[in-house]
Structure 1
Amino acid sequence: MTNYTLQASREWWSQQWLDLLDSYRFKKRLERARNYARQGNVLSIEFKGAKVLARVQGSEVEPYKVSLSLEPFSDEQWGYVIETMSQRAIFAAKLLAGEMPQNIEEVFTANGLSIFPFTLGDVQSQCSCPDKANPCKHIGAIYYQLGDRFSEDPFVLFQLRGRTKEQIISDLRQLRSQKIEADISETPDIQQSPPHSKYLVKIDSFWQYHEPLESSLVVITPSSSETILDVLGSVPLAKEEENAVNPTSSDLVMNSLNKVYRDVSQKAFMAAMNVGAS
C-alpha cells in the first residue's frame, strides 16, 4: 500500500496528527519508525491519565519504554469547550457516532485553545533507548500507532488533552439536561387549562369579532375584475340520463354566487374601514 493510499484511507484528524510527524526532517528515521509500527514492534500502548505509556521492541532483548503526552487542558478550559460543544448539537451527534466533526477545531479556537499540537516541540516524549534524538524511531512508532487509534476512536485525541470519552459524554448530557430543565421552568404553566383547550372553538361566536381592526393591518388593493369564482370556473353540476340538468342551471348558480361574493366583499371592506362605527 502506497503512502498516498494510506493517507486516503485515514480519517482527516488522524492524518493531521501524522502530518506533524512527517514534518520531521530526518526521513530515514521516520521510515524505520513506520516499519516498527507496521511490523509489530510496538508491544503495548496504555493510557495513564493523559499520558501514553508504551513498550517498543528494539534491537536489544529488553523492550524500550516510551512515554508521550500533550499539555492537558485545565478543568476550567474543558468546561468552556464542553459548553461550546453542547451549543452545537452536530458535534455531539458526530462524536457519539465515532466521527470527528470536520470543524471541531473551531470549538477549541473559540476558547483560545488547540486540540492539535502546533509543532513536535509541543509533544512531551521520552524513550529509554540510547538514541539522543527526539523523536527516535521508537517514539516515532508510537506516533504512527496513535494515528491508527485516532481513526478507530477519535476520543483518544481528547484523552491526550485530559478528558476521556466517558467524561465528555457525561458532561454533555449533564449540560443538555440542565438546558431542558431551564426551558421547562420558563414555559408557562398550562396544566390548569383543560386538556387540548387551545384547540377548542366556540362555534356560535367563531365568525364574530367585536374589536375594531388595527388600521395598520388593513391593506387596500385595487379591485380586480377576476375573482376566485372566475379562477374555479363553472360549478360541475351532475347530470343523469333520465333527469338531465338544464344547461342554464350552472350559469344561474354562478350568477348567484357572484352576487354573494360581491356583497360579502363590500361588507368586509366596510368593516375593515370601520364604516358606520359610532
Structure 2
Amino acid sequence: MTNYEIDAPPWWVQQWNDLLNSYRFKKRLERARKYAKEGNVLSIEFKGPEVLARVQGTAPEPYKLSLSIDPFSEEDWNYIVDTMAQEAIYSAQLLAGEMPHNIEKVFTANGLSLFPFTLSDIRSRCSCPDPQNPCKHIGAVYYQLGDRFSEDPFVLFQLRGRTKEQILDDLRRLRSTGTEEQEHSTSVLPTGLQEQENIQAIQNLSTALDSKPFWQYYEPLDSSLVVITPPLENRTVLDVLGTIPLASADAQAVRQYLDKVYQTVTQQAVISALNRDE
C-alpha cells in the first residue's frame, strides 16, 4: 500500500505532499495520483541532488522528466550537521528511519528550510507536450517521492545535496571528536601534579566517606551528565560470535534475519533511553 492511500502518512511526507496538494488544478492531481498508484512511474533515480524519472503516459514511449530543489552549500551542510551532532536524539531517530519532529529547527537555526516553501521552489521539466507545469507525469513522480521519504527520510536530505552516508559519517565523526575532547580535558595537568592531586582527593574522600549509604542515590541525574549515542560502528553481538554453524544457505538466511533483528533492537533501545523522563 502506498502512502497517498493512507490516512495519516508520516509528518514529513504529509508536509511534502501538501505542497503539491495546494496546486489549484485538482483534476490534474487526481490523474497524477492514479498514475502513481497504477505503476506508471517506471523508474526514479538520483543524479546528485537531481531526480531523473521515466513515466509511461498515453504515448508509446515513456516520458523523461527531472525534478530538483536548490541544494545547500558545503558550508551550510557543515553548520547543519554540527547542529545535529549537539543532540544525540537526531542521530538515534534518523538511524531508526524516523525524521525528528523538530528537525526543521536545525535548519531554521542556520537560516535555511529543509522543505520548499512553494511549488515554484521546485524546478521540474517533462518531455510531454503538456504546457502546464506540473503535468500529471511530474505530479506522479512527486507522489512517488513521498513514498521514498516514508521509507527513507534521508532521500529528502539528498534533494538538498547530502547523502545518507555523508550525514551519518559526519555525525559519527563529530560526536566521536566531542567525546575525545572531553576525555582530553580531564588530563591537561602535568602527570606528577595530577597524580598528587588524585592521591590527595582519595585521602580526603576516605576521611569523609561514610560507606553505609555509598550506593544510595535519591536525586535524578542531570541529563547533561549522560550522553547516549548510537554505536560508532554497525556491529552487533553476531559479529563477535562469528560464523553460525549451519549449512551455507541456511546460515546466510538466518544471519540476515538476525542482523535485522539486532539492528532494530539496538536502534529502539537508544530511542527508548533518550525518551525516558526519569
Superposition TM-score, scaled by structure 1 size = 0.68
Deviation at 1:188, TM superposition (A): 2.7
Take 1:34 and 1:105, find their aligned partners in 2: how far apart are those partners? 27
Distance 1:206 1:180, change over 3 A: closer
Distance 1:117 1:7, change over 3 A: farther
Counterpart of 2:116 in structure 1 is 117
Query: Is the 8 Å Cα contact of residues 40 and 56 (structure 2) preserved in structure 1?
Result: yes
Deviation at 1:200, TM superposition (A): 4.9
Take 1:135 and 1:199, find their aligned partners in 2: how far apart are those partners? 71
Distance 1:86 1:44, change over 3 A: same
What does 1:117-266 align with in structure 2 at a 5 Å threshold?
Answer: 117-188=116-187, 193=195, 200-201=202-203, 206=207
Which residue identity is paired with 2:27? K
Counterpart of 2:63 in structure 1 is 64
Take 2:94 and 2:204, find their aligned partners in 1: how far apart are those partners? 51
- Identity percentage of aligned residues: 67
Counterpart of 1:242 in structure 2 is none
Structure showing greater relative contact order (alpha-carbon pairs closer than 8 Å, 6 or more residues apart): 2
Deviation at 1:5, TM superposition (A): 6.4
Deviation at 1:52, TM superposition (A): 0.4
Stretches of structure 1 lacking an aligned partner (at least 5 in a row)? 208-278
Counterpart of 2:97 in structure 1 is 98
Query: Is the 8 Å Cα contact of residues 33 and 138 (structure 1) preserved in structure 2?
Result: yes
Which residue identity is paired with 1:14? V
Query: SS of the residue aligned with 2:132?
Result: coil
Between 86-95 and 139-148, report the one with greater CA deviation: 86-95
Q: Rg larger in 1 or in 2?
A: 1
What does 1:4-83 align with in structure 2 at a 5 Å threshold?
Answer: 6-8=6-8, 10-83=9-82
Which residue identity is paired with 1:6? I
Take 1:206 and 1:122, find their aligned partners in 2: how far apart are those partners? 69
Query: Is the 8 Å Cα contact of residues 64 and 127 (structure 2) preserved in structure 1?
Result: yes
Which residue identity is paired with 1:30? L
Distance 1:178 1:60, change over 3 A: same
Which residue identity is paired with 2:114? I
Query: Is the 8 Å Cα contact of residues 4 and 143 (structure 2) preserved in structure 1?
Result: no
Distance 1:198 1:29, change over 3 A: farther
Distance 1:41 1:95, change over 3 A: same
Take 1:178 and 1:188, find their aligned partners in 2: how far apart are those partners? 16
Deviation at 1:49, TM superposition (A): 0.2
Counterpart of 2:274 in structure 1 is none
Q: Give the root-mean-square deviation of aligned CA atoms.
A: 2.5
Query: Is the 8 Å Cα contact of residues 50 and 159 (structure 2) preserved in structure 1?
Result: yes
Distance 1:87 1:57, change over 3 A: same
Take 2:33 and 2:77, find their aligned partners in 1: how far apart are those partners? 33
Distance 1:4 1:136, change over 3 A: closer
Give the aligned length.
Answer: 204
Take 2:60 and 2:199, find their aligned partners in 1: how far apart are those partners? 81
Distance 1:121 1:39, change over 3 A: same
Distance 1:169 1:42, change over 3 A: same
Superposition TM-score, scaled by structure 2 size = 0.68
Deviation at 1:184, TM superposition (A): 1.9
Take 1:7 and 1:112, find their aligned partners in 2: how far apart are those partners? 32
Q: Deviations over 1:121-155 (max 9, x none)?
A: 00000100000100000000001000011000000
Deviation at 1:4, TM superposition (A): 9.2
- Which has the larger share of helix? 2
Take 1:97 and 1:119, find their aligned partners in 2: how far apart are those partners? 29
Take 1:142 and 1:5, find their aligned partners in 2: how far apart are those partners? 15
Query: Is the 8 Å Cα contact of residues 66 and 128 (structure 1) preserved in structure 2?
Result: yes
Stretches of structure 2 lacking an aligned partner (at least 5 in a row)? 209-278
Distance 1:198 1:173, change over 3 A: farther
Stretches of 4+ moved more than 3 A in 1? Answer: 189-194, 196-203
